[in-house]
Amino acid sequence: MMHRRQKRQLLFAGFLGVIAVINLLFYLILLRPASSDYFNLQGSIDQLKSQNAVSNLTVQRLEKTSGQLERFEQDRAGLFNTHFIKYDPGFAELSPRLEQMAILAGVRRPVVDFTRDEIKQYGLYSVKIKIPVQGTYTNAVNFIKSLENSDTFFLINSIDVKSGEDDGAGPAKTAGVVSLSLDLETFFYK
């Protein structure tokens, strides 16, 4: 009887051993894909973290750009109001400004010729100005400086200089007087 019992115990131990070996094989078979999936997920998590960091930087950059764009219209309006003349009262404002600059510089300003472009570029209408002035050399230089330092934006495209004797003014020629013919450009906005 002892012998039978040992046989059964041995058989039972063998059966448990086979089950243990099978479980060990299943564990090893399933361990490789599970660990592979784990490392793939870990790599994906790291990649998503780096993408999130890049996205956060992009969002910050876009928020900054958005803020700049919001200020752009205010800056543009400020620039136009400060350095350009409004379209509707344009010539009524421009002529007195030039007259005042001429008086302050001490030059004589005859009739001014204005030409306004009817097609706007960059939200501005170009105005070409031909202005002849006469005065001493110092006064003529002061007039040009007043154009350059004016709050109104003036481009000086060309300057034609003649001495007082060359202007054909007749017998009452004055020594030291120069005549300037200035081609200017300024801009109106709507």
Say what the pLDDT of residue 50 is: 93
Domain 85-189 part of CATH 2.60.120.370: no
Say what the pLDDT of residue 186 is: 84
> Which mean pLDDT values do the consecutive 10-residue runs of the chain (190 residues) have?
80 90 85 84 91 93 87 74 72 79 84 74 82 88 88 86 60 69 84
Say what the pLDDT of residue 1 is: 64
DSSP 103-131: HHHT-B----EEEE-SS-BTTEEEEEEEE
Say what the pLDDT of residue 48 is: 92
The CA distance from 127 to 154, in Å, is: 10
Say what the pLDDT of residue 170 is: 47
Q: Where are the domains of the chain?
A: 1-83, 85-189
